[in-house]
Structure 1
Amino acid sequence: MKFSKRFLFALFAILMLVVVGCSSNSSTEQDNDTDSDSTDNETNENDENSAGGELKVALPAQPSIIDPHVTTETVTSTSTKPVFETLVVTNEDRQPVPYLAEKIDVTDDNKTYTFHLRQGIKFHNGQEMTAEDVAASMNRWRVNATGAKVVIGDDEFTVVDDYTVELTLSKPSSLVPSLIATERLAAIMPKELVEEAGENPVSEIIGTGPFKFENWLQDQYIHLTKNEDYVPFDEPIDGLAGKREALVDDIYLYFVSDTSTRMAGLQTGEYDIDASIANQNLAQIQNAENLQEYIEPAGNLTLYFNKKDGVFADVNMRQAVSAALDIGEIMQAAYSEEDLYALSHSYIHENYPDWYSEAGQEFYNQNDPEKAKEWLEKAGYNGETIRFLTTRDYEEYYNAAVVIQEQLKNIDVEVELEVVDWATLLDRRSDPAQWELFISGFSVKPQPVGLLPLDKEYAGWTEDDKIEELKEVIQTASLEEAQAAWDELQAYAWGEYVPVVLLGFYNQVTGTNDKVEGYITDNGQPIFWNVKKLD
């Protein structure tokens, strides 16, 4: 059996250009020597798409570390995607397709994946990428990425030959390519750096991408420079797949926490890109002639029940809340502008059609107080006070909680908001004795593995035999069987078990000025290759 039907159209089109030449060292001091082939240098110099200049980006926060294997920080991924490349990426249709892997073979039982690597790929230190580097990098990635830990577990990527890596699973799964493309950043690094680092961050930031890491000036910026020796794949741009070019000489990623400062800088040209437009500034950017907004789903706002202790250990109480809520009113209060959210019952966004499911939608946004009261009677609710943990550190969480409190009051449920800072909320929610409800978000997931609302270890404690059985099928069955199991699980979650109440998707807004051309985003994260800075 071939890899997956969704790969066939991409695999036959993937041809390889041999990457030649060496790049300079990716430390803070550049090596000025180069021994690249003169033909390649001439090609880069004569490329009609070459633009040059500086791209100045305002980020809302500074990363704590910039090794994407060992952190889930979005700002780390944003900062390092131009530097590191991966075996698999997603195309315009959100399907996983090979990238640093030229092709992928999969056995009929979905247990053995063979990755045939592109040859001639060079790291920024001039070293050629081989299977040794890929296996080391992927084994480091798999012990940190949540979904990979579930599906791959202790199974290892092994070297077959210089340009072939193999993964043989203890349990079959069709999800491996999707996980590599979307779970954390499965960055390929030199083997020596991976082995030296172990569980610690790597000592140098060296990848194979169109940009090199130059330096990080604490509390000010990260500086990336064009990889002059990078040879793009001669393939059409297709989402994150295909041709990647460094069309600017330098990228400066400035750390600018104040939303007004970022917006003002975007308007004046101090910044070319604002990586996080504040909700209250959406109308301002939409009305500006020289600015462009980009809106993309980034996560799901979710109401969590404490199912271990207290009143919500009774499913009838959870059903009562689900029946009572007017979700449209809640999302409007949280995000104000309709462009900033979408009502949806699905755990997986419709952008990912393999896993988007219509199942359970009849139980979404019921807004039926009378039905809710019937569930309360079944639960034997006697007016117990429900502690609702919330925070003003994320104003959307607080605003949603206020509306939920009022709606539950309308069915005679006593809710007390406990407003704390975010750090305190994180601490308290781990203790089932300290809360009954809280609101949080989970990022857009392209497949069901690793969803927090269905995790028995995550706050809320979704411990249910049927859910665990269906999760096992999803993780190990063929794609068609897994999709059927996912439909069944989502229908069961909404209609019977009610682990949470999904409220809807929230959007991430980024913005550019009119000097930026070719900009796209990936789940709300800016992408910097193929971006030109106009004069």
Structure 2
Amino acid sequence: MRRYRHLLLVGLVAALFAVWGCSDKSSTDAGSGNASSGTAGDTAGQAVATDLKYPLSQTIPTLDPHLSLGGSNATVVLNVFEGLFAFNSKYEPVPMLAESYELSADGKTYTFLLRKGVKFHNGKEMKAEDVAASLNRWKDKAARAKSSFGDSQFAVQDDYTVVLNLKNPQNDTLAQLSHVLNFAGIMPKEVIDSAAPEGVNAYIGTGPFKIVEWKKDQYVHVTKFEQYQSLKTAADGFSGKKEALVNNIYFTLATDNATRFSSFLSKDFPYVDVSLDNLPKVQNQPDVQILKNLTTDFNLVFNKKSPLFSNVKNRQAVAAVLDADQILLGIVSTPDLYRLNPSYMYKENSKFYSEAGKENYNQKNPDKAKQLLKDAGYNGQVVTLLTTKDTGNFYNATLMVKDQLEKIGVKTKIDIYDYATMLTKRADPNVWDIYVGPFTMPSTPSQLLYLNPTYGFADDAKLAELLKKSTSAIKPEEIKAANDALQQYQWEYLAAVKIGDTYSYSAVRKNLTGLTLFSGFPNLANTKLLK
């Protein structure tokens, strides 16, 4: 076996990920994973607040980390739960609850050695039975994990050792264990064993903060976990040292953009997302730092089980008419906050980036679209677009798509729900046709939700086989060839249509120090709020 220690990742895993990010002269970029508004060293001798309020722009349907789908969920969950691995600022998976791991010579067997003395929020020590139970549930609940791991099981070898035997080598194993959505959080075995189908009944993790109260539609109150066992390595992304420097955090629901911003202006919130219209109101304030974050890409996802979009020609018609520039401008209102990108991966992730099939991207060809609709036998059926107004990006993007479809004679209607209900509706193949939304950057193609049968219902044998090949490739040239083939076919099959990548502005009061943003999600360990 080859042995990998937690202070150094070598070989395959380190080769798979690249530094990504952007910057400009006026802002600190959070796209690379780190955006600090200060460091703890700046605060010596200054009074520190015990409580922090952090705004949530979306409702929270669940705090179960294995089921967490949205931004607000992840914002809370990532500060309460931890996994065996965590991403650093370069999207490299590094050990968190794992002390180290071993990978067999054939690349099929992972042996995870656990840290000793790690306590859950209920005081129980974390052991292998907890890890195996958590990860076996996670891989069955999370579409990304289920697609990658299939029937493979995490098994207990001894109290501090867990083994995963794979049927084939997989280049995405550690990345899957690190991803921030549908998070592979570790919980006590008894919590897993008593979980209901709709989620766990207790929220007990190992993170620097523990949940005290969840008052739905109002706030989630977390408090400092006094028995937290921190790593001593440097804090980086969501990896490394974590220390709760505030006693209480109130993750406060504020779905209305104007309300969130006015609360920031009144200093009720020390952090807020900033629209282009509101940017001039804060960018010259001496106590405010403006961050520019590479946050999400936008995709149009088809319901492949709907009567209309089970027909690939109808999907191709939509892809043909879409004007990506117009849609992205409708989302962010300025060319400074978007970029065109024909790849389903970010270009900074060079190992998996591919432009295969780019001739089908941003076609802006209404005549071709009309002919494809005619060939498909489209006869005025209504296309249902699923969206929410809880955050403006979903709704604005959907409006732009609706306008472009209607211009080629497609009848449309928009079904608008609160965020939590929209997620439920999205899982029902009988109630929608098209969904347009933002997606957190995947570190591997296997983490593209819409390539899985459970998300938009991409139940296609060739797609599944190409996805499998992209995860089992080991050598760089094999990875490139496999991902070129996958993306070329995706642009033909069209589980989804890539629209582009977006940035956002956020504002941080300079008395909030040590804040780290990772793909827009805050790591609130190591963060101080000065009085």
Structure 2 length-normalised TM: 0.80
Matches within 5 A, 1:152-191: 152-182=149-179, 183-191=181-189
Q: Structure 1 202/420 Cα, relative in aligned 2: closer, same or farther at 3 Å?
A: closer
Which of 118, 121, 126 is equivalent to 2:123? 126
Matches within 5 A, 1:487-502: 487-494=484-491, 496-502=492-498
Deviation of residue 504 (structure 1)?
1.2
Deviation of residue 87 (structure 1)?
0.5
2:330 corresponds to: 333
Instruction: Please say which of residues 339-348 and 450-459 is displaced more in the overlay.
Output: 450-459
- Secondary structure at the residue paired with 1:449? helix
Q: Structure 1 393/377 Cα, relative in aligned 2: closer, same or farther at 3 Å?
A: closer
The one-letter code matched in structure 1 to 2:241 is: K
In 2: Cα distance, 1:442 partner to 1:296 partner: 14
Which of 235, 248, 255 is equivalent to 1:257? 255
In 1: Cα distance, 2:221 partner to 2:298 partner: 34
Which of 266, 271, 274 is equivalent to 1:273? 271
Deviation of residue 332 (structure 1)?
0.8
In 1: Cα distance, 2:60 partner to 2:373 partner: 49
In 1: Cα distance, 2:523 partner to 2:285 partner: 23
Deviation of residue 328 (structure 1)?
0.8
In 2: Cα distance, 1:252 partner to 1:402 partner: 33
The one-letter code matched in structure 2 to 1:142 is: K
Which of 466, 470, 473 is equivalent to 1:474? 470
Instruction: Please say which of residues 109-118 and 129-138 is displaced more in the overlay.
Output: 129-138
Deviation of residue 294 (structure 1)?
3.5
Q: Does the 8 Å CA contact 2:88/2:239 hold for their aligned counterparts?
A: yes
2:501 corresponds to: 505
1:514 corresponds to: 510
Q: Does the 8 Å CA contact 1:383/1:414 hold for their aligned counterparts?
A: no
In 2: Cα distance, 1:194 partner to 1:436 partner: 35
Q: Structure 1 63/515 Cα, relative in aligned 2: closer, same or farther at 3 Å?
A: same
The one-letter code matched in structure 2 to 1:414 is: G
Pair 1:420 & 2:415 matched: yes
Deviation of residue 242 (structure 1)?
1.5
The one-letter code matched in structure 2 to 1:262 is: R
Q: Does the 8 Å CA contact 1:66/1:80 hold for their aligned counterparts?
A: yes
Matches within 5 A, 1:159-308: 159-182=156-179, 183-197=181-195, 199=197, 201-274=199-272, 276-277=273-274, 280-305=277-302
In 1: Cα distance, 2:448 partner to 2:355 partner: 17
Deviation of residue 123 (structure 1)?
2.6
Q: Does the 8 Å CA contact 2:46/2:530 hold for their aligned counterparts?
A: no
Deviation of residue 464 (structure 1)?
4.3
Q: Does the 8 Å CA contact 2:385/2:433 hold for their aligned counterparts?
A: no
Deviation of residue 113 (structure 1)?
0.7
Which of 142, 146, 154 is equivalent to 2:143? 146
In 2: Cα distance, 1:49 partner to 1:525 partner: 27
Q: Deviations over 1:338-370 (max 9, x none)?
A: 354332111122343332223233432233556
- Secondary structure at the residue paired with 2:214? strand
Q: Deviations over 1:385-434 (max 9, x none)?
A: 36343367445555445555655676xx31223133236897599557x8
In 1: Cα distance, 2:481 partner to 2:146 partner: 23
In 1: Cα distance, 2:139 partner to 2:310 partner: 34
Q: Structure 1 267/71 Cα, relative in aligned 2: closer, same or farther at 3 Å?
A: same
Matches within 5 A, 1:18-57: 51=48, 53-57=50-54
Question: Structure 2 unaligned runs (5+)?
Answer: 12-43
Q: Percent identity?
A: 35
Deviation of residue 335 (structure 1)?
2.6
In 1: Cα distance, 2:445 partner to 2:113 partner: 27
Q: Structure 1 283/465 Cα, relative in aligned 2: closer, same or farther at 3 Å?
A: farther
The one-letter code matched in structure 2 to 1:87 is: L
In 1: Cα distance, 2:248 partner to 2:432 partner: 49
Deviation of residue 93 (structure 1)?
0.8
In 1: Cα distance, 2:393 partner to 2:124 partner: 48
Q: Structure 1 97/260 Cα, relative in aligned 2: closer, same or farther at 3 Å?
A: same
Pair 1:525 & 2:521 matched: yes
Q: Structure 1 295/309 Cα, relative in aligned 2: closer, same or farther at 3 Å?
A: same
1:67 corresponds to: 64
The one-letter code matched in structure 1 to 2:410 is: V
Instruction: Please say which of residues 80-89 and 441-450 is displaced more in the overlay.
Output: 441-450
In 1: Cα distance, 2:296 partner to 2:325 partner: 17
Q: Structure 1 162/504 Cα, relative in aligned 2: closer, same or farther at 3 Å?
A: same
- Secondary structure at the residue paired with 1:83? coil
Q: Structure 1 64/466 Cα, relative in aligned 2: closer, same or farther at 3 Å?
A: closer
Q: Does the 8 Å CA contact 2:387/2:436 hold for their aligned counterparts?
A: no
The one-letter code matched in structure 2 to 1:128 is: E
1:39 corresponds to: none
2:16 corresponds to: none
In 2: Cα distance, 1:238 partner to 1:185 partner: 18
Q: Structure 1 217/366 Cα, relative in aligned 2: closer, same or farther at 3 Å?
A: closer
Q: Number of residue pairs matched?
A: 492
In 1: Cα distance, 2:229 partner to 2:446 partner: 35
In 2: Cα distance, 1:382 partner to 1:127 partner: 62
The one-letter code matched in structure 1 to 2:331 is: A
1:354 corresponds to: 351
The one-letter code matched in structure 1 to 2:514 is: G
- Secondary structure at the residue paired with 2:126? coil
The one-letter code matched in structure 2 to 1:96 is: P
The one-letter code matched in structure 1 to 2:530 is: L
Higher relative contact order (CA 8 A, sep 6+): 2
In 1: Cα distance, 2:373 partner to 2:227 partner: 69
Q: Structure 1 311/533 Cα, relative in aligned 2: closer, same or farther at 3 Å?
A: closer
In 2: Cα distance, 1:144 partner to 1:220 partner: 27
Q: Mark the structure with the bigger radius of gyration.
A: 1
The one-letter code matched in structure 1 to 2:469 is: V
In 2: Cα distance, 1:520 partner to 1:453 partner: 29
Q: Structure 1 256/369 Cα, relative in aligned 2: closer, same or farther at 3 Å?
A: closer
Q: Structure 1 247/354 Cα, relative in aligned 2: closer, same or farther at 3 Å?
A: farther
- Secondary structure at the residue paired with 2:507? strand
Q: Does the 8 Å CA contact 1:304/1:439 hold for their aligned counterparts?
A: yes
Structure 1 length-normalised TM: 0.79
In 2: Cα distance, 1:49 partner to 1:158 partner: 49
2:448 corresponds to: 451
Q: Structure 1 48/122 Cα, relative in aligned 2: closer, same or farther at 3 Å?
A: farther
Pair 1:390 & 2:385 matched: yes
Q: Does the 8 Å CA contact 1:301/1:441 hold for their aligned counterparts?
A: yes
Deviation of residue 237 (structure 1)?
2.1
In 2: Cα distance, 1:428 partner to 1:92 partner: 31
In 1: Cα distance, 2:466 partner to 2:480 partner: 10
Q: Does the 8 Å CA contact 1:237/1:244 hold for their aligned counterparts?
A: yes
